[in-house]
Structure 1
Amino acid sequence: MTEKAVKGPASYFPSIEKKYGRPVGEWQELIRSSPLTRHMELVAWLKSEHGLGHGHANALVAATLAGDE
């Protein structure tokens, strides 16, 4: 009955969905459809164009790029 704690970038997902009102899958599709490819470029883009905080943007980019490899 013990649930394993979610670690790494995915630990941010519930708060990202609550704060920004979009499912993580939508954010990941936005990241994948962006012409940008470098991690920090994508983080800066999410922050400037979509108003995400640094930690949330970083977690989304890290999880998305790791999943796409």
Structure 2
Amino acid sequence: MSEHRVPAPHLEPGRKLAGPVSYFPSIERTYGRPMQEWLDLAAARLDAGDTHMQAVAHLKDEHGMGHGHANAVVHYVKQRL
């Protein structure tokens, strides 16, 4: 069993990505943290009772993430919880 509530997907180089996962390489490059950290943050917020948009706002306000990136992270986590 994984130690993470929502494990980060393994992204194969050269593979076409679709949906929220398509943002993940850009999120890692732009914000300099591994995807697992962002997924863990979003999962913790949702587990604590935040709505989708509250979790998005937290990533934007507290971590400087853009709206599209934050929304993709939260959407991905919600799909897997």
Normalised by the size of structure 2, how large is the TM-score? 0.74
Query: Where in structure 1 are there 5+ consecutive unaligned residues?
Result: none
The size of the alignment, in residue pairs, is 66
- How well do the aligned residues superpose, as a CA RMSD in angstroms? 1.3
1:43 aligns with 2:56: yes
Q: CA deviation at 1:32?
A: 1.5
State how far apart, in whole Å, the 1-side matches of 2:20 and 2:67 are: 12
Structure having the larger proportion of residues in helix: 1
Which residue matches 1:7? Answer: 18
Give the % identical residues: 50
State how far apart, in whole Å, the 2-side matches of 1:40 and 1:17 are: 21
Normalised by the size of structure 1, how large is the TM-score? 0.86
